[in-house]
Amino acid sequence: SGSRVHQFHSALTTALHQDSLDDRAWISDPTQVVHRLCGRPGVSAANVSREIYDSVKLEAEQGCVKAASVLGFWHLTASPSSPSPVLLDRPLAVSWLRRAADGNDMHAAFALAQHLEHVQSQPAEAHKYCMRAAEQGHALAQLEIGRMFLNATQESSSSSEELEAAQSWLRQAAEQGHIRAKHLLGALLLSPQWFETRASHFHSCAHNKVGTLHTAVKLLQQAAAAG
C-alpha cells in the first residue's frame, strides 16, 4: 500500500542519516538492508531489491554520504551474474566511493584506496585516500600507512622521521586492537634501529628504555595470544 511504501522510505531515510552505524535505527525493519557497511556483516548486493536500490540511490543523489558509500560497495562487490538491480560496475563504484570519501566517510576512503592501488594501479591517488582514512581513524588504513613508513626505513636514505611516523601509525592501529599492528609495533620497538634512533632519549632516562621494552613484549604477547 501507499502507506507501507511511505513508512519504508521514511525509515530508510532516517537510517541513512544516522550519525552512528551502531544506532538502533540501523537494525530495525526494514532498514536492516543498509545496516552495516564496509566489511561489517550485512546484506550483500545480491539481496538488494529494486525498491531498496532506488531509495538508496535517491538519497545518495541528494547528498547523503552514507548512501553514496552503500552504492559504492554494492557496485564494487556485486556478482557479474547477479539477478539483483545492483550490477558489477567498477567505474560507477569508484564514482560513488569517491563521493563518499570526499564527504569524509573513512570506510569509503579506504576501500577506494585499495581499489586504486590494486586494481587501477594508481599508487599516488591511492595513498591520498588511504592517508585520509587513517587520519579519520580507520585502523586498517593506519596499519597500511604504518607499514609504508616501516618499509621506507629499510632504504639506505631513510630518516628517523620515517621511523617515528611508522611507530605513530602502528601504535594508533594497535590501540584499536589490530593484531598485525601490535605485532609490527612490538617488533619495531625491540629493533636495534629503534634503539639507535632513540639513543639520546634512552640515555637520559633508563626508565624510558625499560618502559619501551615492557610495551614491546606486551604487544607481542597479545599478538601471539590472538593467533
- Sign of the Cα pseudo-torsion (127, 128, 131, 133, in order): negative
From 24, 61, 20, select the one nearest 11 (Cα to Cα).
Answer: 24
Is pLDDT at 210 greater than 60 in this prediction?
Answer: no
Asked if pLDDT for residue 64 goes beyond 80, the answer is yes
Rounded CA-CA distance 224/94 in Å is: 37
pLDDT band at 201 (very low <50, low <70, confident <90, very high): low
pLDDT level of residue 213 (50, 70, 90 thresholds) = low
In 88-123, which positions are buried (b, 16+ CB within 10 angstroms) versus exposed (e)? beeeebbebbbbbbeeebbbbbbbbbbbbbeeeeee
Please give the residue that has the higher pLDDT: either 110 or 39: 110
Q: Please give the Cα distance from 206 to 16 (Å, whole number).
A: 53
* pLDDT in the model for residue 175: 92
C-alpha cell at 102: 570526499
Residues whose CB is less than 8 angstroms from the CB of residue 16 and which lie 6 or more positions away in sequence, other chains included? 34, 56, 59, 64, 66, 67, 70
pLDDT band at 157 (very low <50, low <70, confident <90, very high): low
Q: For the chain, what percentages of helix, strand and coil (3-state, to nearest 5) are there?
A: 70, 0, 30
What's the average model confidence in pLDDT over 144-166?
84
Element spanning 17, H or E: none
What average pLDDT score do residues 13-26 get?
A: 45
Q: Is the pTM value of this prediction over 0.85?
A: no
What letter does residue 138 receive in the DSSP assignment? -
